[in-house]
Amino acid sequence: MKKTVLAFSRITPQVVERLQQHFEVIVPNPANGDINAQFNEALPHAHGLIGVGRKLGREQLQGAANLQVVSSISVGYDNYDLAYFNERGIMLTNTPDVLTESTADLAFALLMSSARRVAELDAWTKAGQWQATVGPQLFGSDVHGKTLGIVGMGNIGAAIARRARLGFNMPILYSGNSRKTELENQLGAQFRELDQLLAEADFVCLVVPLSEKTRHLIGQRELALMKPSAILINISRGPVVDEPALIEALQNNRIRGAGLDVYEKEPLAESPLFQLKNAVTLPHIGSATHETRTAMADLAVDNLRSALLGERPQNLVNPQVWK
């Protein structure tokens, strides 16, 4: 008898087709009523879950008696109660690496847009304000040659560093849990403690995972260390930044600007950030390209298939549960 896979977010017909080669597949459909009710009804039958964006832990999975694996179509896994998964022996898999370059592209797009006031001046132009040559009040900041500080030099951080150093001749500073000797040799990157990095960098890019250690890593004290001309870029997780403190810093021009793809609450329908000309706000689209999302979904299917067919998944977050 085939095992059952339950989707906990939207998945494409192509993903469904791949899964159906090996498993019974249940995909809740809004046309059939409440999505959550359909999910909860199917949960006791599920051996595997696949999707992204739903919090899953003790409360949500108590009825999942047959559950063996959760395959997340994401790199981050802060939505999942890993301690509970380990307690139950449930495997958790994710999709690292395939989104590295696309997310680095997005980080640099935010950096460029914030520095050159692209979103602000696009709105200004479309509003019919361009009546004469722009003056200094609308000037932006150069990017080339400026110092980029990267907080969290993993694969994405390294991809951002390569773009900055090789494409824009930017000196690279970084902070993190370990030294990256190869990047220091290749790019001339220099290690700094966080406080020193914040004080020196013209652009500060956050690329750390969310944990208790990194929650509100950047708050009022840290923002005060930054140059008044500096710009903060956050593509990591919203709670890495104390959002009210950032809003206050932007409102009072304590830093030049911010480029944000993530927020403490998502989706974000209303926020003081939306009223600030010096904040570029995007709806968490770091990996949102056709090519990358397809690659992530394919990898999630591979992870799920391996787990349910008795093979060790390629991207197992909690290897201690592997028998």
Q: Tell me which residues are annotated as active site.
A: 237, 266, 284
- Residue whose C-alpha is closest to residue 15's, from 43, 40, 41, 48: 48
Q: Which residues contact 308 (CB under 8 A, 6 or more apart)?
A: 3, 5, 22, 23, 47, 48, 68, 69
**Token pair listed for 309:** 């067919």
Q: Kindly report whether the peptide bond that precedes residue 283 is cis, defined as omega within 30 degrees of 0.
A: no
Distance between CA atoms of residues 174 and 164, nearest Å = 13
In angstroms, the CA 120 to CA 118 distance is 6
Q: Pick from 127, 90, 51: which is nearest to 293 by CA?
A: 51
Beta bridge partners of 241: 218
Q: How far apart are CA 63 and CA 157, in angstroms?
A: 39
**Among 16, 62, 61, 8, residue whose Cα is nearest residue 38:** 8
**Tokens 């980080």 identify what position?**
107
- The tokens for 156 are 């994405």
CA 131 to chain centre: 39
CA angle 76, 261, 152 (to 5 degrees): 55
Helix (H) or strand (E) holding 122: helix 118-126
Reading the block at residue 190, the tokens are 């220099």
Distance CA 50, CA 11 (A): 9
Q: Which two tokens stand for residue 198?
A: 């914040």
